[in-house]
Chains A and B, each alone.
Chain A
Amino acid sequence: EVQLVESGGVVVQPGGSLRLSCVASGFTFDDYNIHWIRQAPGKGLQWVSLISWDGTSTYYGDSVQGRFTVSRDNSKNSLYLQMNSLSTEDTALYYCARDQGRWNPATFNFDYWGQGTLVTVSS
């Protein structure tokens, strides 16, 4: 069974930093591109970031470009999102989601999702 489990969400002050993690199981992790997608409370979905299956390519949404960094450790079946210079607008439930296709190119179809980890930016 494919599983994605996020962790690391906490309450953090504006301007602070945070690192989220996502641990995968039930599939060959290093075959797949993985995304971060977020959802502010009561709001819609927003794509955040993509990392390629081998970690060599990364992509970011305009609202996080230059502040967030995605990485992965295929030996640990793990994905990470380093979040810096956080603002209240970053408050959201952060999901990791598997890209439907294997290797490249990414399809941007998200076929498996975790349950999310909540990041709250507040003073």
Chain B
Amino acid sequence: QSALTQPASVSGSPGQSITISCAGSSSDVGGYNFVSWYQQHPGKAPKLLIYDVFTRPSGVSHRFSGSKSGNTASLTISGLAAEDEADYYCNSYTTSSTVVFGGGTRLTVL
């Protein structure tokens, strides 16, 4: 199963909005509404941000939102803050009854 495709890096200034894409295929992202997103700060374990394409777990800021169109999912972070600087990973269920992660995106807050 090939990894989902994410941009290696994105950046934005405080207060701006950014979007991270996650491209897959009809065998994963496009075939199921089971896309999740994780945030990972350096030296820390990942944190679940979004699941089932757009659902936020309790306690996750409303500044994080998810969406999907065809074979591509997206994570949007609005009102960028310094603490958002981290690595972000998408994940999708697949036709193999397993999951595949994206390669990760490093977000820099300028």
Cα distance A110–B89 in the bound complex, in angstroms: 12
- Name the segment of A13-21, A24-32, A39-47, A81-89 touching the other chain: A39-47
CB closest chain-A residue, reference B40: A45
In the complex, the answer to whether B57 meets A111 with C-beta atoms within 8 Å is yes
Complex A-B, nearest 9 residue pairs according to Cβ-Cβ distance, in ascending order: A113-B45, A109-B51, A44-B104, A45-B101, A108-B99, A44-B103, A47-B99, A111-B48, A109-B36
> Taking the complex as formed, is A53 at the interface, i.e. its CB lies under 8 A from any CB of chain B?
no
Q: Mark A69-94, 1 if CB is under 8 A from B, else 0.
A: 00000000000000000000000000
- Name the segment of B13-21, B64-72, B73-81, B90-98 touching the other chain: B90-98
| Chain A residues within 8 Å of B, Cβ to Cβ | 44-47, 50, 59, 61-62, 95, 100, 107-111, 113-116
CB neighbours of B12 from chain A (8 A): none
| Chain B residues within 8 Å of A, Cβ to Cβ | 1, 3, 34, 36, 38, 45-48, 51-52, 57, 89, 91, 93, 97-104
In the complex, the answer to whether A45 meets B38 with C-beta atoms within 8 Å is yes
Nearest Cβ distance between residue B38 and chain A, in whole angstroms?
7
19 A/B residue pairs, CB under 8 Å, sorted by A = A45-B46, A45-B101, A45-B104, A46-B101, A47-B91, A47-B101, A59-B98, A61-B98, A100-B48, A100-B57, A107-B34, A108-B34, A108-B93, A108-B99, A109-B36, A110-B36, A110-B48, A111-B48, A113-B45
